[in-house]
Structure 1
Amino acid sequence: MPFKKFATRRIASLAAVPALLLAGACANTGASYQPVIDGPVGPNYSADLYSCQQIAASQGALGSDAAQNTAVAAGAAAAGTALVNNRGSNVRDAAAVGAIAGLAGSALQQQQAKENIIKNCMRGRGYKVVG
């Protein structure tokens, strides 16, 4: 197998690694986020946190701009590959990797939005959220 073809396949298969690492690092993110509170917490802390996490969980896995982010990332990756190495299979592979990157970016943005929902919700319930 020529090196160029081997390298292209290798890169395409390695593109899934960041997505797997991101999925494994989501223990205290998104709707499962537990904010850092400054000061004592009262007896209602657990119930308040649970309620805020449920509000955040109702937002879904991807934001409303997920399709746009996916299309832009796929198009940019395909266009860049077409300029450098104008071969159909390379352009297709680059578009697929770009689409995966766009989806992962949208999922990460949505996770951060959920964390902000929890922080704001807890602040609204009187807690001093510092992180």
Structure 2
Amino acid sequence: MKPSVFLLLTAGCLAACADSGANYTPILDGPTAPAFQSDLAACQMLARDQRQFDQETAGATVLGAGAGALLGAADDGADAAGGAIAGALAGGIAGAVHASDRREAIVVECLRGRGHRIVG
């Protein structure tokens, strides 16, 4: 598979995972309040709208690609392109996981701010 095709597929997979934290539904302590569903939808939308996390993930992907290319080229006759692909994948996954965790935290804190008793 060509490196450019691999990177495009990786980018597509990361984009698909980008909103996973925003779709989080937390566990409540006690009964569900009447406004919970509308508050949950609003808090999930707030988390989903934080596009700076997508930019951070893209930055992590680029940094990973650069570091991987340097390490690949520094290895005895190794492939810089292969190192760049591996580094981009590692950086992109790490960035996507971090963004997902931050979006999930936004959902939890938003619901707590609206008076819901969230335990996890």
Counterpart check, 1:119 vs 2:108: yes
Spell out, residue by residue over 1:12-56, the C-alpha distance to the aligned partner (whole angstroms, 9 max, x if none). x7xx79x96xx6xx6x93111101111111111111111111111
Q: Distance in 1 between matches of 2:62 and 2:20?
A: 26
Tell me which amino acid in the other structure corresponds to 1:66: T
What percentage of residue pairs aligned between the two structures are identical?
Answer: 35
Aligned to 1:129: 118
Aligned to 2:44: 53
Q: Which has the larger radius of gyration?
A: 1
Q: Distance in 2 between matches of 1:78 and 1:85?
A: 13
Q: What is the deviation of 1:72?
A: 2.3
Spell out, residue by residue over 1:49-106, the C-alpha distance to the aligned partner (whole angstroms, 9 max, x if none). 111111111113844423432232112222222232324xx11121122123222222
Q: Structure 1 length normalisation: TM-score? A: 0.69
TM-align CA RMSD: 3.1
After superposition, the Cα gap between the structure-2 partners of 1:29 and 1:65, relative to the gap in structure 1 and judged at 3 Å, is closer
Find the partner of 2:63 among 69, 72, 84. Answer: 72
Aligned to 2:20: 29
Q: Structure 2 length normalisation: TM-score? A: 0.74
Q: Distance in 2 between matches of 1:50 and 1:65?
A: 24
Counterpart check, 1:91 vs 2:80: yes
Aligned to 1:4: none
Q: Distance in 1 between matches of 2:113 and 2:34?
A: 16
Which 10-residue stretch deviates more, 111-120 or 64-73?
Answer: 64-73
